Amino acid sequence: MSGGVEKPRALNDVVLVTGMSGGGKSVAMHALEDAGFFCVDNLPPELLTEFLKLEKQRDERRVAIAVDVRSEGSLPHLLPLVKQLRQEGWQVRSIFLDADNEALLRRFSETRRPHPLRSEQRDGEDAHRVLQDAIALERELLSALRAESTVIDTSLLRAAQLRAWVRDLVSIKGGSLTLVFESFAFKHGVPNDADFVFDVRVLPNPYYDRELRPLTGRDAPVADFLAAQPEVSLMLGQIAGFLRQWLPNFAADQRSYLTVAIGCTGGQHRSVYLVETLARQFASHGHVLKRHRELDAR
């Protein structure tokens, strides 16, 4: 062996799973374990480097590490540490599991688990307000890490959906920008993980055709109906043109994922058709994923 400094052997899959308490980290870690990852829960950030040094001496395996606000004192050091590891040649991907406050409050109420940042409740103090304050503090502590991660909004996701979405994300090899197209229903809220949101409720709606109403944007009769509408073709062309114009800039900014959310009223016809069509049009881009928030929940 030459006398030069040995570079660390890059692990093909080092996935950091973090996010809000109650956001679904346990579900995500189980999905990764089922996918063949070696999973470590609540590893203190200060031990991350030493853990990976040990891992590089083993036979190559995919590793998933869960870090959350229970390591509150070490969180400020986590993001600089991840950046340093990447500079040293480690391939570290960060997935941040988020949910809106209403969903988090509901989950803690259903499970009756205490929030890790909840202060001791004083006599006569509103328990709901104490929990809200803990969630707000957690958002503040994790805001920088969220900004540097791939975000999955789990507010409306069933466990099976979250497992599938996590598996899709980690199936993509790192190194280039992954484009994610997601359909949704405005009546259920805009996805918190969207980088761009396009409102297609102005387009002709197949819902008002009795024969098309029970179908979805994946079905040929709906696709044929929408493809024949000039407004739909115009909207598709403008969205595609915008993305082609700016994708190189996002890639140059070293973004790992870009989520384009397309919404209609019910998340069944128009948004689904546009997502399916755009995913095909951008297939040559490289890494493309598609999601249907409302359809996948059925």
Domain ranges of the chain: 14-171, 178-296
Q: Do the strands 287-292 and 178-185 form a parallel or antiparallel pair, or are they unpaired?
A: parallel
**pTM (global) more than 0.75:** yes
pLDDT in tens, 91-101: 888 999 999 99
Q: How far apart are CA 56 and CA 7, in angstroms?
A: 11
pLDDT at 13 (0 to 100):
65
Residue 126 in this model has a pLDDT that exceeds 90: no
CATH code for the part of the protein at 14-171: 3.40.50.300
> How much is the pLDDT for 145?
87
Mean pLDDT for the stretch of residues 150-179: 88
Mean pLDDT of 276-293: 92
Q: Looking at the predicted structure, is the pLDDT value of residue 121 above 70?
A: no
Between 174 and 24, residue with greater pLDDT? 24
Please write the tens of the pLDDT for every residue from 64-90. 999 887 766 667 778 888 888 888 778
How crowded is residue 117: how many other Cβ atoms within 10 Å of its Cβ? 17
Where does residue 30 rank: exposed (0-12), middle (13-18), buried (19+ CB within 10 A)?
middle
C-alpha span between 221 and 219 (Å, rounded): 6
Number of CB atoms found within 10 A of residue 82's CB? 22
